[in-house]
Amino acid sequence: MLFVLVILSVIPWRSDTIYQGGVDAVVIGKAVIALITLAGAVTLSVHTKVRIPIGLGPAGVLCGVAVIALLGAVVAGNGLATLVLVVRIMIAMTTVLLLLSSVRWEFALGGLMGAMALWAVVAAATGVASFPEKGRLGGNIPEIHPNEVAGLAGAPLVALVVWILRTRTRPWRVALAILLFTIVVASGSRTALLGVIIAIVVAFIVNGVHDRAVVYLMLLTLPVAYAIAFFTGVIEGLVTRSGSTDATSALDARFDAWRVVLAWDWQSWQKWIGLGLSVKKIQVDIRWRDEQVLDSSWASLLAQAGLIGTILVAGLLVWCLISALASSSRRGALLPLLVLLVLRSTTESGLVDSAVPFILLLVIATLLSHRSRHREEFSRPGHEYEDSRRRPVERVLG
């Protein structure tokens, strides 16, 4: 339940509005939910008999990036708006860390994936009525952009595939996987779909197939996928978005933002520490428009936290990939999710923000930290501490 509130507090409630400071009903509502969730996490941490040691290194790196961005914002003159975002990030981070220290990692990861899947289904169900008109499936309650819906559905879909591979095939699991995959396709997010497919391939490679029912399911799925790909217009519609120029214009717009940020003078302070987390658009000198939304986490980091912040986040992700490959017990669950997160970060923002990608990055990085992996111990009355390396992981999502 707490992860459901965490996701609700970070997903956008207005798809066409970019927060640039100020207070209104939406800002207050999200703040209240975030504080209630934090209070719930504190209560759980105080009263639970479970104590899970977790590493704080990844959280420290992300805090450092936020502080660098705040410094850049103060110099740029938009410190208040960035301060609000930093406070929201710190509240979300504290809540997640308390939950991870109170619940075994399989159940914590399962809670996060379940919360994301729930809001993906809710958003898709409320937005399906406008799908024929818009051509892409977004959310109405809450009001979520199709790309956000795809992000909410993609990670749980990959996690569900991992769960099936590591345990058994069940009809309801297959049905849920089909539903989430349909949401991703209907959203029209090509990067999300490509990332999900690659992440599922990685999941098969690192987990293998242990249930013959999975083989039978694959034998049934492949011909259906082939027929859909070659005898319907689904793939063509995704690539060209019904013949519009959106495919090329969206890519060109992203490159426009990259060019501006990369062209900043090496002697300028914003090149190194950025302009603050509240910077969501960048000034561009292009015909027909003078602003471009930062649609990539890396372009956003360069603009918001400069080269220093970008290098810190890139280093954290490289460390996560190495740790995921080295962890025999967590590689199967976390590596596919990490691959999906990295792929989506190229065309979606939010790695360091009050957003779902940030929550996912924080959870994955914390679960991969040395203390979390090698000292996963918990105590109960009458029980000795137990080393997780001696206890086989039988479930991925709890």
Residues in the chain: 398
146-166 and 331-345 helices, crossing angle to 10°:
160
Which residue in this structure is represented by tokens 């450092």? 64
CB 349 within 8 A of CB 86: no
Q: Which DSSP string corresponds to 276-337?
A: -TT--EEEEEETTEEEEE--SHHHHHHHHHHHHHHHHHHHHHHHHHHHHHH-TTTHHHHHHH
Q: Which residues contact 201 (CB under 8 A, 6 or more apart)?
A: none
Q: Does residue 142 have a cis peptide bond before it, meaning omega lies within 30 degrees of 0?
A: yes
Q: What is the pLDDT of residues 162-176, one digit of tens each?
A: 999 988 888 899 999
pLDDT at 392: 40
pLDDT at 22: 64
pLDDT at 21: 61
Q: How far apart are CA 317 and CA 364, in angstroms?
A: 10
CB 317 within 8 A of CB 329: no
Sign of the CA dihedral with 75 first, then 77, 80, and 82 last: negative
pLDDT at 231: 64
**Which residue type does 69 have?**
A
Sign of the CA dihedral with 3 first, then 9, 14, and 16 last: negative
Q: Domain boundaries in the chain?
A: 2-388
**Which residue type does 121 have?**
V
Q: Look up the pTM and report it.
A: 0.87
CA angle 40, 42, 48 (to 5 degrees): 95
Strands 143-144 and 139-140: what pairing? antiparallel
Beta-bridge mates of residue 291:
283
Q: Which residues contact 276 (CB under 8 A, 6 or more apart)?
A: 69, 70, 72, 73, 74, 76, 78, 79, 81, 82, 304
pLDDT, averaged per 10 consecutive residues of the chain (398 residues), comes to 93 72 78 94 90 91 96 90 92 96 91 96 91 84 88 95 88 92 90 92 90 80 74 65 51 70 86 90 73 84 94 96 90 94 90 93 93 54 38 40
CB atoms under 10 Å from CB of 273, counted, come to 24
